[in-house]
Amino acid sequence: DGGITQSPKYLFRKEGQNVTLSCEQNLNHDAMYWYRQDPGQGLRLIYYSQIVNDFQKGDIAEGYSVSREKKESFPLTVTSAQKNPTAFYLCASSIRSSGAIYEQYFGPGTRLTVT
Amino acid sequence: RKEVEQDPGPFNVPEGATVAFNCTYSNSASQSFFWYRQDCRKEPKLLMSVYSSGNEDGRFTAQLNRASQYISLLIRDSKLSDSATYLCVVQIQRTGGGNKLTFGTGTQLKVEL
């Protein structure tokens, strides 16, 4: 089955620790995205990547880092510099990221709780 | 003004009812429009893209009004399984390349017996 996987589903960390969230897709999509969702707010874009070895900051990139060494994988690191890391993190992918309509498809998400 | 605005609801409707949601967007350069459905504590799932001429998929009809900058979603013959939050999503082209999706905060629908 083609799809996007994220692991783990739930993650608990102590304040001050970096944590890396996994995102893998086997849809052969070029573009991948990371969002966070907080209660009462729409999804906000953290980082996106249009192609392997390339990525751009989204609207709320501070305190996060990413890499895109393989087409299938786009891990997100939440660093200790992120002021409010507790959130629901969603990874998405699309065939491409520009031009005509390219819908984005989401993974199941990771709920990160930092105490 | 928010880039994408939706009435948060909840809309409580009886099974079999017809319900409509509207969504307004502020950026006239918006190119593409979508409705996503999100169940509680789950990921958003694409419900349908919204085309300029309007489009229908079974019980769901989406329409776009570019002049007034709003999109709508109509659900006919509501089912209990339609209970979810419906996210309005607007796409614009980024100046540096790639597209940007802006998500509304969602409208909650509860279909009751």
CB contact under 8 A, B99 and A97: yes
pLDDT exceeds cutoff 70 at A101: no
Q: Which three-class secondary structure state does DSSP give residue B82?
A: helix
Q: pLDDT per position in chain B (113 positions), as tens?
A: 789 999 999 999 999 999 999 999 999 888 889 999 999 999 999 999 998 888 999 999 999 999 999 999 999 999 999 999 999 999 887 666 667 889 999 999 999 99
Computed from CA positions of residues A67, A70, A74, A76, in that sequence, does the dihedral angle turn out positive or negative? Answer: negative
The DSSP call for residue A70 is: B
| Rounded distance between C-alpha atoms, residue A105 and residue A29, angstroms | 10
Record: contact A56-B101, CB cut-off 8 A:
no
Q: Which residues of B touch A98 (CB under 8 A)?
A: 93-94, 97-99
Q: A with B: how many residue pairs have Cβ under 8 Å apart? A: 54
Q: Do A40 and B34 touch (CB under 8 A)?
A: no
pLDDT digit string, tens, across residues A35-58: 999 988 889 999 999 899 999 999
